[in-house]
């Protein structure tokens, strides 16, 4: 029975209904209202999981026609802010695609190039992901003037393939770039098509011997890369100062408590991970939230 099996699949996926969505854009120093200049999706804050779907471009039901386009300068910084900080471990990336005309008319079927990755850093046998409530990226200075889609993607790999299915959280902003100094034509990929179920960054199991990672998709392109493509084998980048770092594996804390008045030596913020197979981090939740088991691999402060 089709309906039942779909519901069962959702239950097996073990995800709570509250995920997260990139819903606010800051451009030119102005933080705009929710879904102003960002295409509004119709699936609340749920992920896309079908690697062959056009929804991988800008999310489900995201309409360009009802979205305004913001004027920006080449080199400007854009910040995407979420409703709830990213809490599924995995990389965050930003892509751009030039519209043949108006960004509001563009379906994203053209070429995409990647301008930023936030990958993990590894130390002492543990991976640290840059999980944050907002992500800031600088637009390249050398791209031609024109209208573009700027697409941000969080790829949640917390339920490892193939038992689980990685999740794409996506939003697209519409921008009109002026003041660009160049005519660079970066190498591009198609979406869908850029992500495959054989990509090591898609199939990675963060709970088992996880000590290296390649962010899916093409290499990050920048003006210094030239038009012929870049090689960026380790696109992990240092955290921006405003971000919250979440560590999937932590060293054991000292048993010497600094003070008898602090019985709990750690506290995980709401929506953070507090348990699961292979998890050795803090299992206490900040006051006002409790640790709930989502699946064998993931418990969360809710
Ligand atoms: Cu989720």
Helix (H, G, I), strand (E, B) or coil at 9: helix
Residues constituting the chain = 302
Residue range 148-159: mean pLDDT, rounded: 98
Reply yes or no: is the peptide bond before residue 162 cis, omega within 30 of 0: yes
Question: 107: CA distance to ligand 1 center in Å?
Answer: 26
Q: Ligand 1 centre from 39 Cα, in Å?
A: 20
How much is the mean pLDDT over the chain?
83
Residue 149 CA to ligand 1 centre (angstroms): 24
Rounded Cα distance between 97 and 177, Å, is 12
Q: Which residues surround ligand 1, an ion (CB under 5 A)?
A: 15, 19
Instruction: Please report which helix (H) or strand (E) contains residue 175, including its range.
Output: strand 167-178
The answer to whether the CB of 135 falls within 8 A of the CB of 79 is yes
pLDDT bracket for residue 278 (50, 70, 90): low
176 CA to centre of ligand 1 in angstroms? 32
- Contact call for residues 18 and 84 (beta carbons, < 8 A): yes
- Evaluate whether 290 touches 280 at the Cβ level (below 8 Å): no
- Which SS3 state, helix, strand or coil, does residue 31 take? strand
CA distance 234 to 216: 11
CA distance 146 to 100: 9
What distance in angstroms lies between residue 234's CA and the mean position of ligand 1's atoms? Answer: 26
**Three-state SS at 11:** helix
Distance 263 CA to ligand 1 centre (A): 31
Interval 67-112: pLDDT, tens: 999 999 999 999 999 999 999 999 999 999 999 999 999 999 999 9
301: nearest Cα among 164, 288, 10: 288
Each residue of 249-269: pLDDT tens digit?
Answer: 433 333 333 333 323 466 767
pLDDT computed for residue 302 by the predictor: 77
């Amino acid at each position: 029975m089709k309906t039942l099996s779909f519901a069962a699949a959702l239950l097996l996926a073990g995800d709570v209904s509250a995920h997260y969505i990139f819903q606010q854009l800051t451009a030119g120093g102005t933080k705009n209202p929710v879904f102003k200049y960002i295409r509004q999706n119709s699936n609340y804050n749920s992920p896309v999981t079908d690697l062959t779907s056009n929804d991988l471009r800008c999310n489900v039901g995201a309409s360009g026609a009802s979205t305004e386009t913001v004027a920006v300068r080449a080199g400007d910084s854009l910040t995407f802010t979420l409703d709830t900080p990213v809490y599924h471990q995995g990389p965050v990336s930003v892509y751009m695609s030039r519209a043949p005309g108006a960004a509001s008319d563009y379906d994203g079927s053209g070429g995409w190039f990647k301008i930023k990755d936030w990958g993990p850093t590894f130390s002492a046998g543990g991976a640290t992901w840059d999980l944050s409530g907002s992500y800031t990226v600088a637009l390249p200075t050398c791209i031609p003037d024109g209208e573009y889609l700027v697409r941000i993607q969080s790829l949640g790999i917390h339920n490892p393939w193939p038992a689980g299915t990685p999740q794409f959280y996506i939003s697209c902003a519409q921008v009109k770039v002026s003041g660009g100094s160049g005519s660079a034509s970066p190498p591009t990929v198609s979406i869908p098509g850029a992500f495959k179920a054989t990509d090591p960054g898609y199939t990675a199991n963060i709970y088992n011997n996880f000590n290296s990672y390649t962010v899916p998709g093409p290499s990050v392109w920048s003006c210094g890369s030239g038009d012929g493509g870049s090689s960026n084998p380790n696109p992990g980048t240092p955290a921006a100062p405003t971000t919250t770092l979440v560590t999937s594996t932590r060293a054991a804390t000292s048993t010497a408590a600094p003070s008898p008045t602090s019985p709990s030596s750690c506290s995980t913020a709401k929506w953070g991970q507090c348990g699961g197979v292979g998890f050795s981090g803090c299992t206490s939740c900040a006051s006002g939230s409790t640790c709930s088991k989502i699946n064998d691999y993931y418990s969360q402060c809710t």
